Every structure is written in C-alpha cells, then in structure tokens.
Chains A and B, each alone.
Chain A
C-alpha cells in the first residue's frame, strides 16, 4: 500500500522549472534515495515533501491525506539537515525533547522518550552537553534522534552525511539504515554520492535537470541503466559509438571491432548509429574465463586504485577502462603489450539517448 505519493509534481522558480512531472509511490518502511548532481531538483523535491516549498503543480499525498498545501509544522515529517541545525542554545536532551514540548507531551513522557532516543543513538552520557561540545557525527546523530522523537510518518534526510569525514560517513550511514529498519520508518534520503545511495537504499530515484531518469533498486540502477545519464552518473562506465551490423544476431561494429550484445536491437536498422556502454568490471583478461566477446587490445595505461587496478585498453579505434581486482601474486601486463580481453554479451548495453 502506498504510504507517500508524489503525483505529477513540478516546481518553477521565477520562470525556471527545477522539477518536472515527478511521480513516485513510496511504501511504508521503504528507504528511497534521490540521487543526482547539484541542481537536479532532488533537494527541492524533498523540501516540497517537508512543506518548505509549495509545488507549482501536482499533489503530495501521505496516508491518503493530501498535504500539498499544508504548513511544514502541520505535517508529521522529521527532517535532518546537512548542517545538523541543532538549536545552539539547547542541550542535547532539550534538542531531542523540543518537538515533544511543542506537542505538549507531559514532562514524564518527554523524559522517557528523550532517554529512549539517547539510548538509540548511544549518546546517553552527552545529554547535558551543548551542540558545540559534540563532534560532527555526534551532532548528526542528535539531529536524527530529534527528528525521530516525534514519531514522524516520514523521515527526510537532506544530504545528512556530506559534512562528515569519510570514515564517520560510512559508519553513520549504516547506523541510519539500521535505525530506519528497526523503527520501520519511511525515509527519503537526498544525496549526490552514488556509493551512499547504492549502499543504503531500497530504491533509488536518479534525477537530472529536474526530471526522473530512472527509479529502481540499486541493483537495477547500477546494472541496467535505462538512460545514458544514469549509465554515466552511477558507477564508472565506458561508452562508445557503435553501428548495428546484424540486428537479429545482436552484432555491432565498435571502432572496427565486432561486439555482440544481449540488448534488444532487433528493431534497429542495419547501419544505424547507436551508443553502447560497458562497466569496467565486466571486462576481464581472456586467461581468466572466455566469454561471448573476445577482443584483441593494446594496454594503454595502468592505474593502481588500491583494491582495484584500472587498466586502459584500446580495442580497435576505441579506448575502454577495465577494472580488475588487485592480486599481488599476478603480474600485470606492461603498457604497450598486446593482450586479449573478454566480456559477456549481457555486459554490452545499448543506451537510450
């Protein structure tokens, strides 16, 4: 059953359309990420759900109640901000209890709930500290507890991890996900970090220039990008121009070399120009395992990335990146060496323009 529905939402700012025809149904307890580059409209969409912006057209429905024009303080949504937005004049406990005070809960009820929340975020010992006495990660956990204390119907997270350093970011995102699952709360998470979105979400909404490019699970979005933008934005990707040589057999000419694809191209005409994409990790050296495409190549460059080694190869007239796991016991080929690489026909995706 749909818990939150955004129907044909659009938003104009002074004649410029920043969100166009946005449609999304969110189930109860689902973790949805809005992923896209800066200015793609993801935060604006989140702010429309929070009530800080009013849609130019469209409807927002939460639990069968239309909230499109409700004031932010009349919607039961919790919001977490990139800058934490803790009240500097209040202690951790006062921050967490603020929303409950506004709701006029009894003192005992507030204390009990604040204690519960402090336990949830493992900051029981910091209840009487002021925000400036906490680290960034601790402040964001307090912000999470404050948002959850009111038992919101939906939790909105606006790039909550962007201001934190890399290790804390990874740790806190796991904590957020664990708490969200434990409380079975619906969450909408805005990020421009694809790794964050892929690791934390049930579904990802990829946005570009105000439009939804693709909605799908992390697996679908990463492995089966529906548009060229999604393919380029999510993960590393090789793209190349190709010409259809045999639509029925899925044969393509890429830079003078024949590739076979499992993508549906039967409806394309022979000689039609298309674009294909292949993830770097879908290539492997022929010595490992032979797949549908066996391709002669020349090693152009090798870049060491820690657990992964990125090898740039020239296949015919086109250059591709290939990712291979770093194995200290295997010798890498030399730059300029002639090798053979292979990839399956499923790896060769035809992109919609």
Chain B
C-alpha cells in the first residue's frame, strides 16, 4: 500500500467519522425526545401523549391559527418578493446587492428587538394596528424574507429571465402575462421551497406571536411545557414531522416539474 492509497483511505475514514458524528448530533436528541414522548404511561411505551395533544381543542385552535398565519405569510411574500426579485434581475441589477443585504437583516436583528419596535411604532395613531392580524402577518413576512427572497432569486438565476421576457414581449404579452404565465411557472419549485421554509419558520415562531398576543402553535407549546411533561415532547415530534412532510412535498413537486430545468431546492440556509 503506497502513501497515496493510505492518504486516500484516511480521507475516507475521516469523512465517514464526521458524517456519523453529524447524524448522531442531529438524531440523538430527536430519538430521545421521541422515546420520552412515548412514556406517558408508567413502564409502557404508548402514544398516549399524542392522543392527549390531538384531543386538546386548544392544540387544534392554536395550530390552525399558525397554519393560517403561515399561508397568509406565503401569499404576501410571493406577491411582494417575486415581482421585486424579477424587477431587480431584469431592470435594476445595480440594486441587487443592497436589496440582498436588506433581505438578510432578519438574521441579524433579534426578534425581541424587532417585536418591541413594532409594538412601539404601531401602538399609537395614526398607525394603531398593533392588535390587527395584519401586523403579525407583515412581521412574519419580514421574518421569512431571507428564505423567501433568496429562494425566488435562486429560481430566477436558473432561468434566462431577460430572454424569456423578451420572447414573451415579442409575442405580444404584457408584463402581467409574462410574470404569471412565463416566469412564475418556471420558478415554481423555487417558490415552493421558499414557501415551505417560510411555513416552517412561522409554525415554530414564538416571540412575535407571544408579544403581539395572537393565537399560535409555539406560544401554546411553551405554555404546555410549563404545565405538562410528555405532551410538549409529543408536540415537538409532531412539529418536526410536519416540517419534514413539507420538505417531502417540495421534493415530490420538484420531481414532477415539467420544465426539467427546475429541480433545485433553492434558498435553504
């Protein structure tokens, strides 16, 4: 065995070591939480905690609201970020870097700072909307911006936006038709990936919903942690399952994409 072969094998061993370490780091707490959630009954492994969660009307109520906030956030996000990213790519490339910087701000501004500034700004006339769900959805849209915008931008980068737009124009199409019939369908997978990431963010978000006093899944889960032992663990597993299901949907839709050029899952951080 020469030196190159030894080095090659050594590199492979280290690659496996780090991969197994990463898998353990991610899955061990999850397995532990899952096993713990099955121990609601003494000395028996059962799904009792899960039954309790699904039978609790508060769970359904809060979770439904979180789903509603998530869906509204996705709709608003798509309506704002698709035309913005498209316009910047097509007509205003000089604004690409400043806009990308702005979209990343939710990563560096703590949610608690953000929510206090929202409450302060919108709790007095003329913008007294602190109690309105509009503010919560707007805030969620901002929070999901890094995921949604970069997913859409990645999708736009994968197609020849300028030429497709010009082809549409030369065939008589206006901006609306081009955007909705040519551009949107061709970045469908990118939008879906941004949408599901946004959905996952909204489902797990605690601070905005708590301080803006709106029903949501995460505040309810926090409340439950203070009251019960096994049900919060069951809910954590449920939320993981929902997020993974969402990712599975993205993969499934991406595989069925007719365009053939759009199979990437964009915008993951």
Contact = CB atoms under 8 A, between A and B. Distances in A.
Q: Do the two chains belong together in a single complex?
A: yes
Given A85-B160, A132-B259, A146 B171 contact: yes
A99 B171 contact: yes
B160 A83 contact: yes
A56 B259 CA distance: 39
Interface in B64-79: none
A71 B166 CA distance: 11
A70 to B, nearest CB: 11
Given A87-B186, A89-B186, A150-B172, A81 B166 contact: yes
A77 B170 contact: yes
Contacts of B186: 87-89
Interface in B165-213: 166-174, 177, 182, 185-186, 188
Given A85-B160, A87-B182, A88-B260, A51 B167 contact: no
B164 A85 contact: yes
Contacts of A103: 172
A85 B172 contact: no
B258 A147 contact: no
A147 B166 CA distance: 12
A150 B171 contact: yes
Given A88-B259, A88-B260, A130-B259, A51 B169 contact: yes
A345 to B, nearest CB: 50
A52 B169 contact: yes
Nearest to A103: B172
A130 B169 contact: no
Given A83-B163, A89-B258, A78 B170 contact: yes
A166 interface: no
B261 A88 contact: yes
Given A88-B186, A130-B260, A73 B169 contact: yes
A98 B171 contact: yes
Contacts of B150: none
Contacts of A147: 170-171
A102 interface: yes
Contacts of B261: 88, 132
Contacts of B160: 83, 85
Given A85-B160, A89-B258, A72 B182 contact: no
Interface in B45-78: none
B15 interface: no
A71 B168 CA distance: 12
B159 interface: yes
Interface string A57-81: 0000000000000011100011101
Interface of A: 50-52, 71-73, 77-79, 81, 83, 85-89, 98-99, 102-103, 130, 132-133, 146-147, 150, 156
9 contacts: A73-B169, A73-B170, A73-B172, A73-B174, A78-B170, A85-B160, A87-B168, A146-B171, A150-B172
Report, nearest first, the 4 A-B pairs whose CB atoms are least far apart: A99-B171, A88-B259, A132-B260, A79-B170
Given A98-B168, A147-B170, 12 more contacts: A72-B169, A72-B170, A73-B172, A78-B170, A83-B160, A85-B164, A85-B167, A86-B167, A98-B171, A102-B171, A102-B173, A130-B259
